[in-house]
Chain A
Amino acid sequence: NAGVTQTPKFRVLKTGQSMTLLCAQDMNHEYMYWYRQDPGMGLRLIHYSVGEGTTAKGEVPDGYNVSRLKKQNFLLGLESAAPSQTSVYFCASIPAGTYGYTFGSGTRLTVV
């Protein structure tokens, strides 16, 4: 089925551990985004990409890195996890010049 797929769906990390969240889309969308969702705060943009090989910082980039080596994949890395990074992470994509994101179903990350 066409769409945005996020893996894993759930993860528990210990403080200081690292991990990578994978986002894959099969719709040939140019733009991809990583958001985090925290209660009462809506979605905050972490990093985004407007094409293969490009990335840019969003509103809350500290503690995260991203890569877009292939157009269909957008990876989000946590270098040294902290409890403040406990959140639900959403990936989204959109074709260039159009409107309305397609979202993945989210990754629930808990850092203990």
Chain B
Amino acid sequence: GEDVEQSLFLSVREGDSSVINCTYTDSSSTYLYWYKQEPGAGLQLLTYIFSNMDMKQDQRLTVLLNKKDKHLSLRIADTQTGDSAIYFCAVTGGFKTIFGAGTRLFVKA
């Protein structure tokens, strides 16, 4: 079946850029997302990209999509302590969305 993989942890210093990577198997995915989950809360949609795009920028966030390699990345510029959270990659095809296991981002002051 479809699979989405992410590394489980990332640690960066405050002010540096963070890059969270994701690979997926379903080449028919139409929407690809990044969600953010803070402790004790549900997932919050952070940004998304359509499968016919290769880059999207939204303030401090940059999403890159390499369809050939089925690789999605999220870059957070000028990472702040408030960015500490779990980040989930997710891909949608049809009615279902498949989520990765999440990358826990630690931001050191």
Contacts and interface: CB of A to CB of B under 8 A. Distances in A.
Interface string A5-19: 000000000000000
B99 interface: yes
Interface residues of B, number: 22
Give the interface residue-count category, chain A: 20 to 34
A74 to B, nearest CB: 14
Contacts of B92: 99
A42 B96 contact: no
Contacts, number: 52
A84 B45 CA distance: 28
Interface stretch (B36-44, B53-61, B63-71): B36-44
A77 B45 CA distance: 27
Contact of A90 (B1, B33, B43, B102): B43
B33 A40 contact: no
17 contacts: A31-B95, A33-B97, A35-B99, A42-B100, A43-B43, A43-B99, A45-B96, A90-B42, A99-B48, A99-B92, A100-B31, A100-B33, A101-B45, A101-B97, A103-B43, A104-B42, A105-B40
Which 5 pairs, one residue from A and one from B, show the smallest C-beta to C-beta distance? A103-B42, A42-B101, A43-B99, A100-B45, A42-B99
